[in-house]
Chain A
Amino acid sequence: MIELNVLGQSESNEASGCASGSCGSTGDQLSHLPEEIRKKVFNHPCYSEEAHHHFARMHVAVAPACNIQCHYCNRKYDCSNESRPGVVSEVLDPDQAVKKVMAVAAEIPQMTVLGIAGPGDPLANPERTFSTFRQLSEKAPDIKLCVSSNGLALPEHVEELCKHNIDHVTLTINCVDPEVGARIYPWVFWNNRRVKGRKGAKILIEQQQKGLEMLVERGVLVKVNSVLIPGVNDEHLKEVSKIVKDKGAFLHNVMPLIAEAEHGTFYGIMGQRGPTNEELVDLQDACAGDMNMMRHCRQCRADAVGLLGEDRGDEFTMDKIEMMDIDYDAAMVKRRAIHEAIEAELEVKHNKPNEALVTLSAIRKKETRPVLMAIATSGGGVINQHFGHATEFLIYEASATDVRFVSHRKVELYCSGGDTCGDAETTLEKIIRTLSGCEVVLCAKIGYEPWGMLEEAGIQPNGEHAMEFIEEAVAAVYLDMANNGQLEDKPVAAQQLTA
């Protein structure tokens, strides 16, 4: 292994007054969990914040039917429970899905997790879902299986799920009160009838809670997703968070409602707005006191392939897969070698002093204010993306004591080349609006024009930390700002507002 470059090691962890594990810095969000659960989620890109830089997951769309209607979903498109609305994916039959998964696993060894999330509800399509799982457990035992559900049909399928040794289940729970539920779910299909309104919502809630309890009893990991709908369930989600934690869910992930009229959803047409970035983070913070929150979920598409946030689906369309000849035994050997290398790398990172904290310990005056920074990265935990190629930014908050991951913010591609460049002006403005509240953007490179506009908006572009680890770079920039005396006052933009 390479010699690690540790800044001022003598003042390391002790000086900062807390081991990174106990104060909940990003790298160690899972540290409070029992060892066996930690092991389970260690290389799961959807659960471990650390792993999602290194490992990949994929979803296959084998489950088209749904048994409920959500107001944020338009059934003419994919489910927006786990995917963005408006993107129709290729629905596969189980045999096709198995072939696709094995092709991707052989080609992208970092792919460790296969999920079935839609486009409908996996448990409303039990034959298709379980046939896929059955074949995969047999043919590709090195792939973890997970499933997302609205929970309505969960209790009746728990036994079957356990048989296939599926250890991750994601439940979307938006409420525990039927009054609130009636404003989210117009109907559910239950006991051969369509049940509308409050009555339907009550059935759904009961089934979700029962299913959650049954899974936890059997030692299955349960993550809960909630969609934050301002004015409908925003305050209520704090109660949801408390209840699902008490029942044993190990992660709670609050996602923003995405509602546009063009999606044709109830919320989109009726003008229900989604939460602002601030509202989302505030709610995540409020729930974080109660349980481990997951902030790195990117609401990936149900058929996305690749590292989270990156989509390589076009390389694996069914006609291309039919042409591939896969030797999965050989692929498994290669996969194991690569997984071991990544795990070793993560282990090293784990055991060395947190360099971000080491850097921060150099700040003498501790009354510096926290700063938000936006990072352009395509994975690996390093700053390695051109500003113009970023489809999302990772937002980190640096303070005198900690560097912490806050959220993802998606943006439209600014530099997509060709004739779309006429729109660059407005797209760039939109990106800048998306980054509001951030004072620094860290990226591998950035063009002259966006540089100027960012500066004008009070956001300092910075390409000096290309290829460095995110947390260390954020800490270094924060230290520079502290040394330059930039952190004693309020941010410039805020000053202007109050002046």
Chain B
Amino acid sequence: MRLTWNDTELEFQASIARTLDDAHVLDHVRALMNEKRPDGDHLSDKLVELGVTEAAIPEQNGGLGLGYEPICLAAFELGKRLSPFSFASTLGIGLTASLLLEDDCLANQFRALKTRCAGARLAHLGSTSLSFEKKEVCGEVSFAWDTHNADVVLVATTDRSGSPILALIELGNAGVTHTPLPSIDPTRSTAKLSFKKAPSTLLASGDRAVTYAETLMQHVDLYVAFEQIGGAISALEMACNYARERTAFGQPIGAFQAIKHRLADIYTKNEIARAHARYAADCLSHGESDTGIAVACARAAANEAFLFAAKESLHIHGGIGFTFDSDCHLFYRRARFLSAIGTPQLETLEAVASHVVTTAEGATA
């Protein structure tokens, strides 16, 4: 187990940070917000150049063989700047799936980020409204995210015999209807996807489909967690800077304990979330049996950290924080958006709870 970052990872992170700083990501997000539109193309070339998509690919397959840590660090740096790129779905679902399947053709598309993957939950096999017959999919995914410029989506369902299925659908194909839904964070898109005999590629079936779907959701949840932690750390930094500058009653507001103690609480939550996320990244890279619970804890802690940091940071800014011109609402919206994608909040908590209760039952048995 390794819980600190090594030099290679830190250099990787620094080069991502430099590139993103040069790209003025947050300025771009402000502009998108003014125009109320999402945009995913802004960064994809840069991410490819930096080698983010190559990091987890083994060296013998021409990748960098660095594990998932660099991807996590990229998610963190993107999250810090509220990047609108569909990172968790394209890398967490698309790229990861192509690697699990050892499908070179698919992998090459995702490696170059030429193909973008919409986010959709891959769970509840068997209870979805999707049907799969002769490789054609009918039904709908009532909520998908990062959809506006996505090329594909992965769905988990069952075939007629009830066997689990993991399939890929090209969104440009006939039989696919894409109905945009208004997003609380207009810089990130949401939509309903309906399928009427939409042709699909079968990626896996049976137990393999179930395991792959689980693994893909772990990747999505962990990358989202890193984005959330990045956002939480920026929100804290913004609030600290403001608290040092803004004065009231003859002193900086940051000298009032009610304010500084709130900031200390944001910091504490952020530290807990960071610790979990780092641990989960290590588990994921090494295929530890602990990965499921580690990712659940990381995701739950990151939900909590970003939601708390975003709301308290807005509050510490006073009236300015409630204006459209301040960045506070960008964070407040993004925190809400991210908390709603991947595994739902309460299900994540329930996964942790059931781990605790099962452990307790085991100990008393």
Real binding pair = no
Binding site for B on A (CB under 8 A): none
Binding site for A on B (CB under 8 A): none
